[in-house]
Amino acid sequence: MIKQNETIQADVLVVGGGTAGFVAAIAAARNGAKVILLEQRDHLGGTHSGGMVMMIRSMRHMKAPKSAEHKKVMITSYESSFEDEQLVFSIAQEYIDRMLEVGAAWGMTGQATARQLFDPEIAKWTIERMVVEAGVDVWFYAQVTDVLLSDNTVRGVVVENLKTRTEILAQVTIDATGDGNICAAAGASFEFGDPAEGHCQPMTLYFVMGGVKLDDTLAYIQNHPEEFSQDYVTTVLRLRDEGKPITVLPFKAKIKEALQKGDYPIPYGLKNVNPDTLTYMARPMFRNGKFRYDLISHNMDMAYNVDATDRKELTNATMGMRHVAVRMAAFYRKYVPGYEDAYLVHTAQVVGVRDSRRIVGDCTLNKDDVLAGKHFPDGIGRYGSVVDVHDKDGKQSLMLVEVGGSGWFHIPYRALLPRGVSNLLVAGRCISTDYIAQGCTRSQAACMMTGQAAGTAAALAVKSRVEPRAVNIGQLQKVLASQNQLI
């Protein structure tokens, strides 16, 4: 086969145009670097947009629920809350403001809600506009298949298809692939899953149902306070009246009935489910400036104990999750008032992976750092979301724990530096953390923050002709602060 070979040079190469990657590319370009952004799919935003995770948690500190009942109220009211201290700003806030301008996010310009809802379809377009305006050279359909390495130093990557093999050389490469694919290929150490068994948290394939009459669903909830709790019922109805975001929780009595009749789908990888600990969420989608009470997005744990970096396992799990989505739609139609004539509009374009590799960096952020709200001298931003770890066996509910201390911890710059490898930075859900801390830093606002820090540091490294490890921390913090990030 005759294949064309080409070599291209950039200052900064960002691999993965997802939640962290698009922000990294903008930050590097705005700070003066020539940037190429490589994305294997046909859109930017990754899990944030194509994955249809339509809520950025937490731009603000987020409190933990005091009880199971309180959790229900909290889950539904946090999306419209401006109460607690906002911690993440800069490009993340600018992006939200751009989304607000075109009726693709709910809220107020210049501020974010604790859990910022947005339209994942318009997100793809807004991100494209921002990235292109920053001067980034975007490549879609560009799966990185190899890393160019010499003496533990990343020189660039390879993108290959049947027509062309392209070597892209760069002074700094940023791994924003979510799975730490570039770091792993470069020989960086990583941890995987929970410390006991290496099992990952469950995966999700978001699905959307149309033709829902949500007011009928809410009427059922109103008539069954014993199932949902009176506080939840009062809160959800008030929010609906005020046109604010709402979250609809599982219909446990219906699930029990459907389980008995064999009408409820068991998630991929499990033998049964416990209706009492099940937590999943259904939310009206925000489209063109308003919530659509006929178009409902569903987020539930669907596939257990899957390695997202294993193609065969991921293929089987994806088909397993689509099967669950189709059967869930049938369950809703048959059992849940308001869904009688509802239909499955689509499943998400991107499978929702909560965790896989965690790259071992020069510093590993751990559970104690997060829970104590630890401050680091090389902090690149503040974060204070609840730690949210989904039970890997489906036996218990998800764990939600509040960040202590002053309500936020620093993410240290060293957590973005893969140990033992040069010219490489990592951003997003696979930065250097332990299993529990990742339950916090995997949130989108934190991914955007680490993306911005990695992009900024990469541009500074290029300017100073040093490798990222040698970037002056004081200068990095000064630049981030001057661009409106709280340090």
354 near ligand FAD, judged by CB under 6 A: yes
Closest separation between CB of residue 151 and ligand FAD, Å? 23
174 near ligand FAD, judged by CB under 6 A: no
**In the complex, residue closest to ligand FAD by CB:** 18
Compare residues 76 and 204 and give the one whose CB is closer to ligand FAD: 204
* CA dist., res. 230 & res. 373, Å (int): 34
Closest separation between CB of residue 388 and ligand FAD, Å? 8
Number of residues that bind ligand FAD (CB under 6 A): 36
Tokens of 314: 């991921």
Q: Pick from 338, 352, 381, 468: which binds ligand FAD (CB under 6 A)? A: 352
Compare residues 23 and 363 and give the one whose CB is closer to ligand FAD: 23
Interface region with ligand FAD, contact rule CB under 6 A, candidates 90-98, 129-137, 238-246, 440-448: 440-448
284 near ligand FAD, judged by CB under 6 A: no
Contacts (CB under 6 A) with ligand FAD, residues 70-109? none
Q: Pick from 10, 12, 14, 20: which binds ligand FAD (CB under 6 A)? A: 20
Compare residues 18 and 338 and give the one whose CB is closer to ligand FAD: 18
Specify which residues 418 forms β-bridges with.
Answer: 361
Selection from 52, 57, 20 nearest residue 39 by Cα: 20
Compare residues 143 and 189 and give the one whose CB is closer to ligand FAD: 143
Compare residues 144 and 400 and give the one whose CB is closer to ligand FAD: 144
Q: Pick from 11, 13, 18, 476: which binds ligand FAD (CB under 6 A)? A: 18
428 near ligand FAD, judged by CB under 6 A: yes
299 near ligand FAD, judged by CB under 6 A: yes
Closest separation between CB of residue 197 and ligand FAD, Å? 20
Specify which residues 303 forms β-bridges with.
Answer: 203, 268
Q: Pick from 107, 120, 156, 178: which binds ligand FAD (CB under 6 A)? A: 178
329 near ligand FAD, judged by CB under 6 A: no
Residue 142-161 contact track with ligand FAD, rule CB under 6 A, x = bound: xxx-----------------
Say if strands 164-175 and 424-426 run parallel, antiparallel, or are unpaired. parallel
19 near ligand FAD, judged by CB under 6 A: yes
374 near ligand FAD, judged by CB under 6 A: no
Cβ contacts of residue 465 below 8 Å, gap of 6+? Answer: none
Compare residues 43 and 335 and give the one whose CB is closer to ligand FAD: 43
Q: Pick from 62, 447, 458, 462: which binds ligand FAD (CB under 6 A)? A: 447
358 near ligand FAD, judged by CB under 6 A: no
138 near ligand FAD, judged by CB under 6 A: no
Contacts (CB under 6 A) with ligand FAD, residues 21-60? 21, 38-41, 46-48, 53, 55-57
Mapped to the 3 state alphabet, what secondary structure does the chain carry? CCCEEEEEEEEEEEECCCHHHHHHHHHHHHCCCCEEEECCCCCCCCCCCCCCCCEEECCECCCCCCCHHHHHHHHHHHHHCCCCCECCCHHHHHHHHHHHHCCCECCCCCCCCCEEEECHHHHHHHHHHHHHHCCCEEECCCCEEEEEEECCEEEEEEEECCCEEEEEEEEEEEECCCCCHHHHHCCCCEEECCCCCCCCCCEECCEEEECCCHHHHHHHHHCCHHHHCHHHHHHHHHHHHCCCCCCECCCHHHHHHHHHCCCCCCCECCCCCCCCCCCCEEEEEEECCEEEEEEEEEECCCECCCCCCCHHHHHHHHHHHHHHHHHHHHHHHHHCCCCCCCEEEEECCCCECCCCEEECECCCECHHHHHHCCCCCCEEEEECCCEEECCCCCCCCCEEECCCCCCCEEEEHHHHCECCCECEEECCCCCCECHHHHHHHCCHHHHHHHHHHHHHHHHHHHHHCCCHHHCCHHHHHHHHHHCCCCC
Residue 196-235 contact track with ligand FAD, rule CB under 6 A, x = bound: --------x-------------------------------
Closest separation between CB of residue 297 and ligand FAD, Å? 11
Compare residues 10 and 335 and give the one whose CB is closer to ligand FAD: 10
17 near ligand FAD, judged by CB under 6 A: yes
* CA dist., res. 274 & res. 277, Å (int): 6
Kindly list the residues in this chain that would bind ligand FAD in the complex (CB under 6 A): 15-21, 38-41, 46-48, 53, 55-57, 142-144, 176-178, 181, 204, 299, 352-354, 428-429, 442-444, 447
